[in-house]
Structure 1
Amino acid sequence: MAKARAQVQRHQDHIEVHQDDVKEEDPEELLDESADPLEESGRTVDTSDEEIDDSVAEEISRFEDSFAGINKRYRLINRIGEGTFSTVYKAEDLEYNSYDNRWDIDEREHRKWASPSSRRRSSRRPHYVAIKKIYVTSSPIRIFNELELLHDLKNSDLVCPLITAFRHQDQVVAVLPYFQHADFRDYYRDMKISEMRLYMKSLLTALRSTHMKKILHRDVKPTNFLYNPQQARGVLVDFGLAEREGTDWHQCACALSSEERRYRIAHSVYAQSQQAGHQTSSYPKNDTRNSRRANRAGTRGFRAPEVLLKCTQQTCSIDMWSVGVILLTLLTRRFPFFHSADDIDALLEITTIFGRKRMKETAILHGQVFETNIPSYSEHGHSLEKIILWCTGRTGDKSGPKKELDEEEKEAVQFLYRLMECDPMKRITADEALQHQFITKAYEDSEAEDEMVDLVEV
């Protein structure tokens, strides 16, 4: 971990740098996933008061005792987040004025609009950070990877930067900016289409910055995007499962030409079983092929089809599918929209919408076979328009006139189809998404508001 620490540490004194032997991670450790979205969303808190539960106070006290010197630099206030791999605390930076703090977006905005006298006073006001305590059960290679990626993403738009990192014995903490935000569950049901545009614009801006550096976030979901509705600004956080594009790649059928893919399918074990007269898929008695391994890290309900189908050449497009699931959540007012117990259930949930035919095509694309004999799954599925109408209670009255989405919703659905494209090669990129009509209207709305403000000032 010495490399990452040498690059990002802010306090060089009193920190012992130890050169670890970084070993290759066991393949099974790649099968990590974040907490269930329902459980995790309830643990994300944003509070400015210092009321604290006794159990949290005891937890903070134990943390301060176990991590020597942490309370000399930071005053821990409250626990604001808890996930599978870490706990996050809000803290006051006691040595803020001793260092260059270009990372502080809020301070820059404050100084931009403040009078000269208040600028001098601002240096004495408290400044807060988020201290991420990474669990000791996390592998050293995972911790090193997260810190290195955060350092590479410094100065990226709307991506939470790394301020510094400390290690004491086997415990590592990362110090990050503290961002005020609202709990997703408090606003997702009430968002207007115009507000969804601003949310998506902010999230996609962060992902464009990330994908430009060929980094997959791998865990895009509402609790990892700290959004402030009042400021219409969010910050992408938690790169604990992120990786560089191309990491541990092995050839997947999706990267082949259509001609070569057809040839491989025609000469596959599956094709041979079909030629032998089997009407349904069957397993060979003696299968000498190696088992297929692929990174499926992430959160249930937000994984792209290629992740569930164990594609071994996953790209940044997996994050764009997750963005689509968030937009679908906003449009249907259902959170979480997908709530599967495992990967098979997750594929079936997607099949409910897109149909058996599309899922078979998607599976073949990655050299897999998808078969189901459950009669409730139709061949062609349902349109996203119909799904949204069902979820928002606009299909109940059969005797009345047929209800349809309004024009803004239809525009959102067109954008949603580009995000939730089952073929990752056809899925829209973050850069393309920011140029889509659905998102560009957010800029038009902002300009209209600016013109109204200018008119009032005159």
Structure 2
Amino acid sequence: MEAVPNQQRNSLQNVEKNKAKNKIPNDVEMDIENLYEILPQLSQIFRIIDKIGEGTFSSVYLAEAQMNDGSRRMFALKHLIPTSQPMRIAAELQCLTVAGGTENVMGVTYCFRKEHHVVIVMPYMEHQAIGEIAGSLAFEEVKHYIFHLLKALSHIHKFGIIHRDIKPTNFLYNRQKKEYALVDFGLAQGTTDTQIELLKELLESRCVFGERNLNNTNTKPSVEKVEGQLLKPNKEEAVPCKIVSTKRRLVPVRAPLNGQAQKDTPVTLTLSAQKLNPAAVCQTLTCSCYMTDRICNVCLSRKQQVAPRAGTPGFRAPEVLTKCPNQGTAIDMWSAGVILLSLLSGRYPFFKASDDLIALAQIMTIRGSKETIEAANKFGKSIVCSQELPRLNLRILCETLRGLRTCDGSLPAEFQVSHHPTDAGSAANRGSLRSDEELQEMGWYKVPDEVYDLLDKLLDLNPETRITAVMALQHPLFNDMTDSLM
């Protein structure tokens, strides 16, 4: 991509024009001006219009560029914070260049770098926020959305990429054009057989990063191998040899009792991370504070378990919440299941938790405490819950929240809503309940059993038996969409 002759503008003029045309807020104006100053070459090609996203590790800007043929095209400029690790940046770029640009996965157009500042240029896709339209989606829209998400996951998993941050804001949806794009590989990791070389290096070792040049004069970006000294992790950090984490927490969980709605009931959760060797699981787990509401000095002195925890609260899989070291592509499938649960119920976000134990308790409320404990035992974890929480029927749960049935007292109090929209609470927390005629027209009275079967398989508590993306695409729910896979 080349700039049009005599197209150069200084940063201040750009910001002033954008401010007059788009009424940019002062703080965004300052951010744009700062970005122009950091990377002056941007002003030669792009007219930055607005800031459209901001996260922990990056900010995203909307920009316009004039192409060689005279047409104008919109781009998304992702500015990575200067503290981002060079290897991590290079790995994200390699994911985009190797797997991106097809199968609902966003590609990369160009990359700029000056010193510690990196800007990744990607095609811009206009999209709607799922949180704003979750309650207004027809069933067929939900079906197509989850199908295309599974297509993207199947594609990246084929390359051995674990996205690790699957959520609606990272799977863009253009409702009018029916376009989809999986974005943001900043937290991606590789499987043991990953085809992404830099993810393989991140998986195998910790790096002391050397200097490298991310800029490339070619229109097709390339990712060079990062030069630097590789240090092997300490064995104790890589594989914990003892019980490394013990926590007890009184977690308020709303639970039914004799069919009656109850107030918050304190449920004591104890999470113990055990040695991964199956023979060692039977080793002594108890200590002087086991099954009590205190933590002894022995537990306090134990090392914290080292395990990946990247991801967004509410979308983390049970094996992530319990710090299981062996995490694979199944964690992306769990997140896809949470998204489907949100879309079927019309409640987004579905799970909201301030820490991992509360998140685990919320999962138990849906999937059952006994089932969660049994699944945890299978991947080497011990969870103790002071109260048994029954497994919920997913159809009844979603239909109640969607307003398709009145609550009969069989659901926990936090999920109980009236059938009448005015009694249902805010749309953000309870879904957008609609009239019977609207629900009928949107297809919510004809939801097949297959979608809840798929949901159950996606929310399998055991990652070893959780459905894969390839298997999910072959699910009977999508029998009429198999042509899309050709």
Please give the TM-score of this superposition, normalised by the length of structure 2.
0.67
| Larger deviation, residues 425-434 vs 153-162 | 153-162
Equivalent residues in 2 for 1:252-271, closer than 5 Å: 263-266=279-282, 268-270=283-285
| 1:425 aligns with one of 441, 453, 464 | 464
Letter in 1 for 2:467: I
Partners of 1:386 and 1:280 lie apart in 2 by 36
Contact 1:73/1:93 (<8 A) preserved: yes
Partners of 1:200 and 1:53 lie apart in 2 by 35
Matched, 1:241 2:187: yes
SS state at 2:49 partner: strand
Partners of 1:278 and 1:316 lie apart in 2 by 34
Residues 127 and 332 from structure 1, CA distance in 2 versus in 1: closer, same or farther, beyond 3 angstroms? same
Letter in 2 for 1:368: K
Partners of 1:262 and 1:310 lie apart in 2 by 17
SS state at 1:371 partner: strand
Q: Give 1:282 shift.
A: 8.9
Residues 173 and 269 from structure 1, CA distance in 2 versus in 1: closer, same or farther, beyond 3 angstroms? same
Residues 353 and 163 from structure 1, CA distance in 2 versus in 1: closer, same or farther, beyond 3 angstroms? same
Partners of 1:318 and 1:391 lie apart in 2 by 25
Please give the TM-score of this superposition, normalised by the length of structure 1.
0.71
Letter in 1 for 2:333: M
| 2:130 aligns with one of 137, 162, 184 | 184
Unpaired stretches in structure 2, ≥5 consecutive residues: 3-20, 193-202, 206-237, 242-275, 410-435, 437-443
| 1:200 aligns with one of 126, 146, 152 | 146
Equivalent residues in 2 for 1:128-147, closer than 5 Å: 128-147=74-93
Q: Give 1:174 shift.
A: 0.7
Alignment partner, residue 333 of structure 1? 346
Partners of 1:421 and 1:366 lie apart in 2 by 13
Partners of 2:240 and 2:65 lie apart in 1 by 48
Q: Give 1:63 shift.
A: 1.4
Q: Which has the higher contact order (CA 8 A, sep 6+)?
A: 1
Partners of 1:398 and 1:364 lie apart in 2 by 33
Partners of 1:441 and 1:408 lie apart in 2 by 15
Alignment partner, residue 304 of structure 1? 317
Alignment partner, residue 30 of structure 2? 58
Number of residue pairs matched by the alignment: 357
Matched, 1:412 2:438: no
Per-residue CA shift, 1:40-88, capped at 9, x if unaligned? xxxxxxxxx8453333223212211222221002111111111111111
| 1:78 aligns with one of 50, 65, 68 | 50
Alignment partner, residue 214 of structure 2? none
Letter in 1 for 2:384: E
| 2:375 aligns with one of 356, 362, 366 | 362
Contact 2:289/2:296 (<8 A) preserved: no
Q: Give 1:371 shift.
A: 1.1
Partners of 1:436 and 1:174 lie apart in 2 by 36
Matched, 1:126 2:72: yes
SS state at 1:350 partner: helix
SS state at 1:415 partner: helix
Residues 366 and 226 from structure 1, CA distance in 2 versus in 1: closer, same or farther, beyond 3 angstroms? same
Q: Give 1:395 shift.
A: 4.5
Per-residue CA shift, 1:337-369, capped at 9, x if unaligned? 000001011000001011111111122122221
Q: Give 1:316 shift.
A: 0.6
Partners of 2:305 and 2:34 lie apart in 1 by 43
Contact 1:303/1:322 (<8 A) preserved: yes
Partners of 1:354 and 1:329 lie apart in 2 by 15
SS state at 1:131 partner: strand
Partners of 1:355 and 1:230 lie apart in 2 by 39
Letter in 2 for 1:387: L
Letter in 2 for 1:312: P
Alignment partner, residue 87 of structure 1? 59
| Larger deviation, residues 293-302 vs 146-155 | 146-155
Residues 263 and 342 from structure 1, CA distance in 2 versus in 1: closer, same or farther, beyond 3 angstroms? same
Q: Give 1:236 shift.
A: 0.2
Per-residue CA shift, 1:164-187, capped at 9, x if unaligned? 211112211111111111121332
Contact 1:164/1:174 (<8 A) preserved: yes
Residues 277 and 130 from structure 1, CA distance in 2 versus in 1: closer, same or farther, beyond 3 angstroms? closer
Alignment partner, residue 246 of structure 2? none
Residues 72 and 363 from structure 1, CA distance in 2 versus in 1: closer, same or farther, beyond 3 angstroms? same
Matched, 1:67 2:106: no
* Overall identity of the aligned pairs, in %: 35
Per-residue CA shift, 1:295-330, capped at 9, x if unaligned? 010000000001111111110110010000000000
Contact 1:86/1:132 (<8 A) preserved: yes
SS state at 2:385 partner: coil
SS state at 2:173 partner: strand
Contact 1:193/1:409 (<8 A) preserved: no
Contact 2:61/2:77 (<8 A) preserved: yes
SS state at 1:189 partner: helix
| 1:391 aligns with one of 401, 408, 416 | 401
Partners of 2:408 and 2:379 lie apart in 1 by 42
Contact 1:207/1:430 (<8 A) preserved: yes
SS state at 1:187 partner: helix
| 1:232 aligns with one of 154, 159, 178 | 178
Letter in 1 for 2:337: G
Partners of 1:69 and 1:183 lie apart in 2 by 32
Partners of 1:280 and 1:365 lie apart in 2 by 24
Q: RMSD in angstroms over aligned alpha carbons?
A: 3.0
Partners of 2:458 and 2:407 lie apart in 1 by 31
Alignment partner, residue 96 of structure 2? 150
Residues 394 and 194 from structure 1, CA distance in 2 versus in 1: closer, same or farther, beyond 3 angstroms? closer
Point out the structure with the larger helix share. Answer: 1
SS state at 2:144 partner: helix
Alignment partner, residue 101 of structure 1? none
